[in-house]
Amino acid sequence: MTEHRIDTDVPATDALSREIALEQAHVDKVYAELAKARLRTADVEADGLARGRTDRVGDVRDEELTGLVERDALVYLAARRRHDLDRQFEGLVFGRLDLDHSGSPDPAELDVRELEARYIGRLGVRDDDYEPLVIDWRAPAAAPFYRATPVDAQGVIRRRVLRCTGDRVVGIEDDLMVAQAPQDLVVIGDGALMAALTRSRGARMRDIVATIQRHQDEAIRAPARGITEITGGPGTGKTVVALHRAAFLLYSDRRRFESGGVLIIGPSPAYTAYIERVLPSLGEESVVLRSIGDLVDGVTATRLDPPSVARIKGGHRIRTVLARVSQEAPPDAPAEFRAFVAGTAIRIDADALRAVRQQVRRTHQHNLGVAAARAALADLAWAQHEEQRGREERAEFLDRFHDSLDVDRFMRDWWPQLDPREPLLWLADETVLARCAHGILGRGDQRELIASLQEALTTGTWSVSDVPLIDDLFSRLGPIQDEEPEERGFFEVEELDNLAEFGVQEVGAGAAPAPLRSISLERLGDDPRDRLVHGIIDRPRSYAHILVDEAQDLSPMQWLMVGRRGRHASWTVVGDDAQSSWPDAAEALRARHDAYGRGQRRGFHMDTNYRNAREIFDYAADVIRREVPDADIPAAVREIGWPVREVDADGATGAALDRLLAAEVAHLLDAVEGGVVIVPGAPHTAAAERAAQILERVSVVDPLSTKGLEYDAVLVLDPEQIAAETPGGIRALYVVLTRAAHRLTVLRP
């Protein structure tokens, strides 16, 4: 985070600490009032419980009946209020507005002591004098927090986001709504960057900043319906614009987006944590933040496949393989049906069973086709019975067939309810994959796919590229259908209801296996396969609005997965083709347009980089132009006077490399007041982690996890290795090189 105090000599860290302490004092006051409110609520509940009491026996008098009604009303209202108070403990206060009511044409001349400080939160809180300490975010008075922009400030001088853990303020981020702030106003974060740009470059720089802000405002306020695409190179503010657009839409059409929901998708868990820091007001129940590996409920994936495997799993070819495996019978399914029904020996061979499966699957999802499959078997059985006996009524025979315990057992084995993760794991078998991938994947691709699935079975973890495959299989298989419990006798012991929680199957001829969903994680043990298929996967939720950041990285299969959640949604999509890690841009673009569906499309292009110093960005731009001559290169407008530092380690390894790395990190720590991030090639991860343990304010981030993020200073360790090992190659290196705001060091071992 960048911190500045405007036009003063106070160090940035001191200014940040002082501002956090100031906000903490107000938050403490809010939570003190919240404690009082809980006590008042308890008093109301006690008063309600005291109503309607009587010592009389017999008919209830009218006045006693009134007391009972009052009791129920008071207790209900008190319980609801207590629930509201209890669930607001985390992040109750998340915003502050500093407003000017003087109408002054020159904000720079304002006295900061005359500005109104208005705090915004999840719940309205007043003090003992009924003065507002926090404004409910849904109240009209909170509207400028979402709607104010530099073009239409609505009286706002500074908009501040408070980042809290419990009742403690741990961070601050400011947006400056005027070209020049009052002399003594402290501004923290990107808003401070805008202020510094304006003040350090005079009228010309103020014009540039105003242009940036105006164009961002147009994207934020674009119509809600249809598809809004925001493009631009690194550092142009695409992500922040998109997040503010989501907040604006949520507030401007609250009924639609609260009821329909807003889904925000980012490339990694680190990105979703960043969103929560930048715009915690989006943490409402109507907004769902997901990384691409968390998009399917019941599955969490962070492991990354090698680029060659990710290409196999991400392309459209894999859909044919998934379609075929979804038609397969389970590996342990019986090959033929044999039973005595109504005195007739019924035998249905493998070819007939295969034909039934194909017939039913043409019109039914697997898990919803049990009844149809059973009916088709019944028809085949009746044909055999009629041929051999011919005297019985069809309806009577079918009743006997469906009541048969042999048929029940056969159906459970031949047509079981399938979790979509199970057929995917079948592909780890060489024979099954060869059958399903015939004519689609070559032998080399098949070997890589099997190795990837075997790794999942060994580690008990899915990869990020597996998640859209699971989602695709779910769309073919459908949700698992729970069997209706049979009626039980009065003598059965109630405690046996919970046996399924321990993985114990109910004993009995007609009992179905306990569904996997009832087995808790604690009781799964160390079996990796159990961890892979734990939990339940249900139908994906459909959203009213979907925001996709780093859209250029999504594979065609990932776009299909996102599209299933946005069939009736409006979209905000953010990306930069030059940063893409997916090799076939045309295939991904077709899948993206299919996901959008119909709707008006509009585009906004951000062309000014205000994150990176010009020296840093010019270095990164030279790298990407070597491979992508037509890359979208924004203009960097800020200069620091320090070139990118390139260091050649001359083949140093072991302790020598550790010493050099520590020295370069220490150099960066002296140059910036914030944190330093080391981004290593995979062979040097251990060395980077050793340096991070020795020196404070240092962390290690893998190349792909830097997507969408920014840091004060970055040390890139072995850039050539990063380009070689990371999906996207030189494009991924370009992303890494553009994460630094103030200092960049490139170390080549």
Model pLDDT for residues 343-367, shown as the tens digit of each residue:
888 999 999 999 999 999 999 999 9
Residue 169 belongs to domain spanning: 3-203
Measured CA to CA in angstroms, residue 282 lies from 24, 156, 230, 328 at distances of 21, 20, 19, 43
Total residue count of the chain as it appears in this document: 749
Residues 6+ apart with CB under 8 A from 346: 337, 338, 339, 340, 381, 384, 385
Task: Count how many domains the chain has.
Answer: 4
Tell whether 107 and 222 lie within a shared domain.
Answer: no
Distance CA 524, CA 88 (A): 34
Tell whether 550 and 643 lie within a shared domain.
Answer: no
Q: So what's the pLDDT on residue 59?
A: 56
Tell whether 407 and 464 lie within a shared domain.
Answer: yes
Q: Give phi and psi for 702, each to the nearest 5.
A: -75, 155
pLDDT tops 50 at residue 493: no
Return the CA Rg of the chain: 32
Any idea which of 59-63, 289-293, 708-712 has the lowest mean pLDDT? 59-63
619 occurs within a structural domain: no
* 70-96 mean pLDDT: 61
508 occurs within a structural domain: no
> Do residues 91 and 107 touch, judged by C-beta distance below 8 A?
no
Q: So what's the pLDDT on residue 183?
A: 81
pLDDT tops 50 at residue 512: no
pLDDT tops 90 at residue 380: yes
Q: Which amino acid is at 491?
A: F
Single out the residue of 487, 329, 356, 345 nearest to residue 404, CA to CA: 345
Tell whether 259 and 333 lie within a shared domain.
Answer: no
- In 189-319 the beta strands, taken as DSSP E runs, fall at 227-232, 262-266, 287-291
530 occurs within a structural domain: no
| 606 burial via Cβ count (<10 Å: 0-12, 13-18, 19+) | buried
pLDDT tops 80 at residue 723: yes
* 531-535 mean pLDDT: 89
> Do residues 712 and 193 touch, judged by C-beta distance below 8 A?
no
Per the prediction, the chain carries an average pLDDT of: 81
SS3 for 547-584 is EECCHHHCCHHHHHHHHCCCCCCEEEEEECHHHCCCCC
618 occurs within a structural domain: no
pLDDT tops 70 at residue 236: yes
Q: Write down which residue in 420, 449, 477 finishes a domain.
A: 477
* 650-656 mean pLDDT: 87
Any idea which of 30-44, 71-85, 173-187, 484-498 has the lowest mean pLDDT? 484-498
Tell whether 199 and 226 lie within a shared domain.
Answer: no
Which CATH number fits the domain that encloses residue 721? Answer: 3.40.50.300
Structure confidence at residue 213 as a pLDDT band (50, 70, 90): low
Residues facing 603 on adjacent strands: 229
Structure confidence at residue 376 as a pLDDT band (50, 70, 90): very high
- DSSP-derived pairing of the beta strands 93-99 and 116-121: antiparallel
Tell whether 688 and 719 lie within a shared domain.
Answer: yes
Tell whether 336 and 404 lie within a shared domain.
Answer: yes
Say whether 630 sits in a helix, a strand or coil: coil
Structure confidence at residue 91 as a pLDDT band (50, 70, 90): low
82 occurs within a structural domain: yes
Q: Distance of alpha carbon 474 from its chain centroid, rounded? A: 19
Q: Write down which residue in 441, 460, 477 finishes a domain.
A: 477
Q: So what's the pLDDT on residue 415?
A: 94
Pick the more confident residue, 57 or 742: 742
For 379, other C-beta atoms within 10 Å of its C-beta total 12
Tell whether 40 and 185 lie within a shared domain.
Answer: yes
Tell whether 31 and 127 lie within a shared domain.
Answer: yes
Sign of CA dihedral 87, 91, 101, 157: negative
80 occurs within a structural domain: yes
Residues facing 545 on adjacent strands: 262, 570
The percentage of the chain sitting over the pLDDT mark of 90, rounded to a whole number, equals 42
Single out the residue of 661, 656, 738 nearest to residue 692, CA to CA: 661
Query: Over the stretch 109-133, which tens digit does the pLDDT of each residue have?
Result: 888 888 999 998 877 888 888 889 9
* 464-470 mean pLDDT: 96
- DSSP-derived pairing of the beta strands 262-266 and 227-232: unpaired
Tell whether 321 and 385 lie within a shared domain.
Answer: yes
* 572-577 mean pLDDT: 92
Tell whether 289 and 312 lie within a shared domain.
Answer: no
Single out the residue of 682, 678, 676 nearest to residue 722, CA to CA: 682
| 433 burial via Cβ count (<10 Å: 0-12, 13-18, 19+) | buried
Pick the more confident residue, 500 or 667: 667
313 occurs within a structural domain: yes
Q: So what's the pLDDT on residue 40?
A: 62
514 occurs within a structural domain: no
**Alpha helix (H) ranges present in 261-369?**
269-278, 307-314, 317-326, 350-361
Tell whether 52 and 136 lie within a shared domain.
Answer: yes
State if pTM tops 0.75. no
pLDDT tops 50 at residue 283: no
Structure confidence at residue 84 as a pLDDT band (50, 70, 90): low
Q: Give phi and psi for 612, each to the nearest 5.
A: -85, 140
Distance CA 138, CA 495 (A): 47
Q: So what's the pLDDT on residue 511?
A: 36
Q: Write down which residue in 433, 453, 477 finishes a domain.
A: 477
pLDDT tops 60 at residue 491: no
Pick the more confident residue, 6 or 161: 161
Q: So what's the pLDDT on residue 510?
A: 36
Structure confidence at residue 94 as a pLDDT band (50, 70, 90): confident
